[in-house]
Amino acid sequence: MGRIRGNDMRFGTFEIMILIAIFFLLFGAERLPKLARAAGQSKGEFQKGLSEVTGAPSSTNTESDLDAGGKTEAVDIAQKAEAAGIDPSGKTTEEVAEEIAAAEE
């Protein structure tokens, strides 16, 4: 009996060709570019999200967030609109801000 070596468990050219043939049989040649494109886009989105999460927040954004009391600009404008008696529902932030400015004049 021969010894079992680690090289025996690697994928060779023949095994890779078999896997590609099975892939073509299952999915068809016309869907291969679509699947490759979707896989590339998914990887790109994952990398983009990962870089956003792992990136350090800039000090200017952090300071401005603290000064705003943790509220976003949209929330602040919506609260100002409700205080002025303006219904902000169904409107963009810019439209509501314009109505607030017009009401203050």
Q: What is the 3-state secondary structure (H, E, C) of the chain?
A: CCCCCHHHHCCCHHHHHHHHHHHHHHHCHHHHHHHHHHHHHHHHHHHHHHHHHHCCCCHHHHHHHHHCCCCCHHHHHHHHHHHCCCCCCCCCHHHHHHHHHHHHC
Residue 68 banded pLDDT, cuts 50, 70, 90: low
- The predicted pLDDT at position 70 comes to 67
What is the Cα–Cα distance from 47 to 85, expressed in whole angstroms? 44
- The predicted pLDDT at position 100 comes to 86
Query: Can you tell me the mean pLDDT for 34-55?
Result: 86
- pLDDT digits over 83-99, tens only? 888 888 888 888 888 88
